[in-house]
Each structure stands twice: as structure tokens, then as C-alpha cells.
Structure 1
Amino acid sequence: MPRTALTRDEVLEAAAALVKQHGPAALTMRGLAAELGTAVTSIYWHVGNRESLLDALVERTVQEMGAIRPTGRTPARRVVSVAVRLRRELRERPHLIAMVHERGLTERMFLPAQRALVHEVHAAGLRGARAADAVRAVQFQVVGFVLVERNRERSPVQSPGERDLWDAGTAEHDPALARALARPANPEKLFASSVRALVRALLETPATDVG
């Protein structure tokens, strides 16, 4: 029996879940109606046609990405917290982020996180071009890291793999290094350490420019 009570938010939530799991191509009005236990006409009533639904999902994604808030007791820790959260959000919704990008809204989507970063680099004493470079460096670090992660996840099985390629010789007679590089990378740990190092360097008291 068709469901009688349904809200627009419930429709968008179910549609977003389908896109997250299977991609936008799998999102059909009939399939969404079946997922919600309602009639197709009810879906149209709440969100319009499929293109309107996709537009609404894009807008919803942009708004959700804008909810990133810094945490921590120092500007450096708060910048790192924004980077960590931004990476997590990008990782959790690749199909929705791709839809945002296809509609030319990527810059708008990143603006709230950038503004949060601006506030923190200002609090750390940076201004002008140096502050802008710090904000962009953090953003590029996050996006670049996510792209590398996705590329590694989608790549075919490597033969030879890292465990086969690294030994004392290739590691310049550093056995501990060879063993570490032969093990699978820990993306969470690697991202946290790299972004902390980047932020420390960016927020150092700037030297007087020469020339």
C-alpha cells in the first residue's frame, strides 16, 4: 500500500543515499518511489522531474559541505580540523561531489570551508597574499590527496607490488624504511601527518619579503 505521509527532505535523503551507493545513473523516479514505498506521482509532487531532483541534490550537497566548522584550541589545530573534515566529506560522497562539479558549482561549494580557513590564518597572523596562499595550499592538499586515494583504489592489482619492490637495496640500505614502504599505506595516518606538517610550515611567522 502506498505511503501517505512523505516530506521533501525524506525524498532528498533517500535519493542522496541511492546516488552515494550506486551513482546518479541508478537514480530513477520509479526506483526512488519503490525505495520509499510510495507512488511515483508523490515523488513528482515533492521534487518535480528527475532533472529538478538532481538539481535539488546538488544544492543540498553544497549546503551540507558548508556545515564544516573548525574545532581545536589553536589556529593550527582548527585549520587541520577543517582539512580532516573536508577530506572525509569528499570521500563519503564522490558521486554527489561530481554532480556539483558538473554543474559548475565547485567553487561555491568550497567557499564556506575557505572562509573558515581564512578566519584561522588571520588568527595566526597571516594577511594578504600569504594568507591566500595558505588557504589554497590546504585546499589543494585535501583535494589532491583525495584524488590520489581514489586513483589507488580504482587501479588494477599491481604486479610487482610495493612489497615486491622494496628491499634493503632499493631503500638505500635502510631495512626499516624498506619494511615500512612494503606495507600498505595508512591513508588516515598519512593525511593527518602531512596536513599537520603543511599547516605548521604555513603558519610560521613570515619572514620579511626581499625584493
Structure 2
Amino acid sequence: MARSALTRDEVLDAAASLVREHGPDALTMRRLAAELSTAVTSIYWHVGNRESLLDALVARTVADLGTIRPRGATPAERMVSVARALRRALRERPHLVAMVHERGLTERMFLPAQRALVHEAHAAGLRGAHAARAVRALQFQVVGYVLVERNRERAPVQSPAEEELWRGEDAGSDGPLARALAAPVDTERLFVDSVRALVDGLLGGAPGNTGEATPGDTGDGDVGRGPYSQ
């Protein structure tokens, strides 16, 4: 029996769930209607055709990444928190993020996180080109890390695996090192360690924080120019 009450948000929630779990190809109007126990005509009434539905999902994904809020007592802690939240958001919705990219809205999607990082860079005393480099470095770190994670997860089973290669090795008499490399990778801890080290270097290594541009930089106005910036 078709349900009598249905909202646009419920349709988008169900559609997003299908895409997250099975990819965009699994999203058909008939399958979505079945998931919601409603008629196909009801889906069309709420969101239009499939292309309009995909556009709505893209817009919602862009909006979702705009909800990232820094947390922590210091600019450094808050910058790390933004990086962690961005990584989590990208990993939770890879198919939706791919749809955003295909529609040429990648820069728009990353803009809220950029703005949050700019705010914290300013709070830490960075200005101009130094602040721009900090924002870009963190953004590239997050995106690059997520891509590496995805490639590792989708790679065929390795034989011998990394753990097997290091098992029994002494790594130059450094037994603890060999044992650590033979253990499974804690990707969350590795990410946080790398981002913290990057943030510490960015905030502590800016010479004078004068904001003077170096070749290839254009100062404050250049924060929005780059592969993942607007």
C-alpha cells in the first residue's frame, strides 16, 4: 500500500542512503519508490525527474559539508578538528562527493572548510600568503589521505601483505619498529598524527607572519585560488 504522507526531505534521505550504499546507478525512481513504500508518481511530485533528484542530492551534499564547525581550545586544535571532520565527511559519502565533483562543484563544496581554516589561521597570527599556504596544505593533506585510504581499501589482496613482510625483521636491530610495521595500520591515529605535525609546522614556521607574498602567491586575496579552493 502506498503511504499517504511523504516529505521532500524523506525522499532525499532515502535517495542519499541508496547512493551511499550502492552508488548512483542503483538510484532509480522505481527502487526509490519501493524503499519508501509509495508510488513512483509521488516521487516525481516531490523531486521532479531523476536528474532533478541528483541535482538536489548534490546541493544537499554541498550544504552538509558546510556544517563543519571547529572544536578545541586553541587555533591549532581547531584546525586539526576541521581536518578530521572534513575527512570523516568525505569518507562517509564517497559516491555523493563524486557526484559533486562531476557537476563541477568541488570548489564550492570545500569552501566552508576553507573559511573555517582561514579563521583559525588568522587567530594563530598567520596572514596573507602564509595563511593561504596553511589552508591549502591542510586541504591537500585531507584529500590526499582520503584518496590513499580509498585506494588501499579497493586494492586486491596483497601477498605477501605488509604485515608479513615485516614479521621477523629486526629493522636494523629496532625490534619495536619492525613489530609496529607488522601491526595493522591505525588510519585514524596516523591521520591525526600527520595533521598535528603539519599544523605545528605551519603555525610555528611562518617567518615573521608578515604576509609578504612569495613568487606564485598573491596575498590575502589568493586564499580562494587553487585546485580545492574558490
TM-score bin, normalised by smaller chain: over 0.9
| 2:27 alignment counterpart | 27
RMSD: 1.6
Partner of 1:109: 109
Q: State TM-score, norm by structure 1.
A: 0.96
Q: Spell out, residue by residue over 1:127-170, the C-alpha distance to the aligned partner (whole angstroms, 9 max, x if none).
A: 01110000000001101100000110011111111122125657
Residue of structure 2 in register with 1:159 after alignment: 159
Partner of 1:83: 83
- 1:132 corresponds to 2:146: no
2:92 aligned residue: 92
State the one-letter code of the partner of 2:135: V
Q: What secondary structure is seen at the aligned counterpart in 1 of 2:204?
A: coil
SS of the equivalent of 2:207 reads coil
Tell me if the contact between 1:20 and 1:93 (Cα under 8 Å) persists in the aligned partners.
yes
- Name the count of aligned residue pairs: 211
Using the TM superposition, give the Cα deviation of residue 206 of structure 1 relative to its aligned residue in structure 2, in angstroms.
Answer: 2.3
In structure 1, distance between residues paired with 2:167 and 2:54: 50
- Output the amino acid matched with 2:150: R
Query: Where has structure 1 moved over 6 Å in runs of 4 or more?
Result: none
Give the counterpart letter for 1:194 in structure 2.
Answer: S
SS of aligned partner of 2:111: helix
Q: Secondary structure at the match of 1:148?
A: helix
Indicate whether 1:43 and 2:43 are aligned: yes
Q: Which residue of 1 aligns with 2:14?
A: 14
Distance in 2, matches of 1:116 and 1:207, equals 23
Rounded to whole Å, the distance in 1 between the matches of 2:168 and 2:36 is 58
Q: Per the alignment, in what secondary structure is the counterpart of residue 55 of structure 1?
A: helix
Which stretch has the larger CA shift, 169-178 or 50-59? 169-178
For 2:149 and 2:90, how far apart are their aligned partners in 1?
A: 11
The one-letter amino acid paired with 1:49 is: N
Q: Which blocks of at least 5 consecutive residues in structure 2 are unaligned? A: 215-230
Deviation at 1:113, TM superposition (A): 0.4
Indicate the SS of the match to 1:203: helix
- 1:144 paired to 2:141: no
CA distance, structure 2, for counterparts of residue 44 and residue 167 of structure 1:
58
1:130-209 maps to which residues of 2 (within 5 A)? 130-166=130-166, 171-204=171-204, 206-208=206-208
Q: How far is 1:205 from its partner?
A: 5.5
Separation in 1, partners of 2:179, 2:205: 37
Residues 64-79 of structure 1 correspond to what in structure 2 (within 5 A)? Answer: 64-79=64-79
Alpha-carbon deviation of 1:171? 2.0
